[in-house]
């Protein structure tokens, strides 16, 4: 009878170990399914992050273009003021300006002024 109890006990222990193994397999499957569900939402998050990154890069590029536009407008505004001063001098004189009056406003030759303008435009474009 004692031997029969030992056999039954061993068979029950064996079935308990099998049940524990099956339980651990089922838990692992549950974890993997839950992980896959979360992974699906992570892929959506990754897509959203990628789109948001593209948006940030585009916004940064747009702001850089706005800055460059403002810089060029300021640079060209300086040339416009110089031109307006020359035109005001011509209007004030009422006729053909004498060369000495224009020398008062501009101390540089026309070629030098053109060169300086070209250099400033090239610097602005490179920026």
How confident is the model over 101-110, as a mean pLDDT?
56
Would residue 125 count as lying in a domain? no
Would residue 7 count as lying in a domain? yes
Would residue 55 count as lying in a domain? yes
Total structural domains within the chain? 1
pLDDT score at 42: 62
Would residue 121 count as lying in a domain? no
Would residue 112 count as lying in a domain? no
Domain limits for position 42? 1-98
Would residue 56 count as lying in a domain? yes
Binning pLDDT at 50, 70 and 90, where does residue 97 land?
very low
Would residue 124 count as lying in a domain? no
Would residue 118 count as lying in a domain? no
Tell me the pLDDT tens digit for each residue of 3-48: 888 888 888 999 999 999 999 888 888 887 776 676 666 667 777 7
pLDDT score at 107: 60
Instruction: Spell out the SS3 assignment of the chain.
Output: CHHHHHHHHHHHHHHHHHHHHHHHHHHHHHHHHHHHHHHHHHHHHHHHHHHHHHHHHHHHHHHHHHHHHHHHHHHHHHHHHHHHHHHHHHHHHCCCCCHHHHHHHCCCCHHHHHHHHHHHHHHHHHC
pLDDT score at 119: 83
Binning pLDDT at 50, 70 and 90, where does residue 123 land?
confident
Tell me the pLDDT tens digit for each residue of 42-57: 667 777 778 888 888 8
């Amino acid at each position: 009878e004692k031997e029969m109890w030992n056999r039954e006990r061993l068979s029950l222990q064996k079935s308990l170990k099998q049940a524990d193994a099956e339980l651990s397999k089922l838990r692992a499957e549950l974890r993997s399914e839950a992980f896959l569900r979360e992974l699906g939402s992570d892929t959506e998050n990754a897509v959203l992050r990628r789109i948001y990154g593209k948006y940030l890069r585009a916004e940064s590029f747009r702001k850089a273009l706005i800055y460059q536009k403002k810089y060029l407008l300021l640079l060209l505004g300086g040339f416009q003021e110089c031109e307006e001063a020359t035109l005001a001098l011509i209007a004030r004189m009422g006729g053909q300006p004498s060369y000495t009056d224009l020398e008062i406003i501009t101390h540089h030759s026309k070629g030098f002024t053109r060169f300086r303008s070209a250099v400033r435009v090239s610097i602005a474009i490179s920026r």
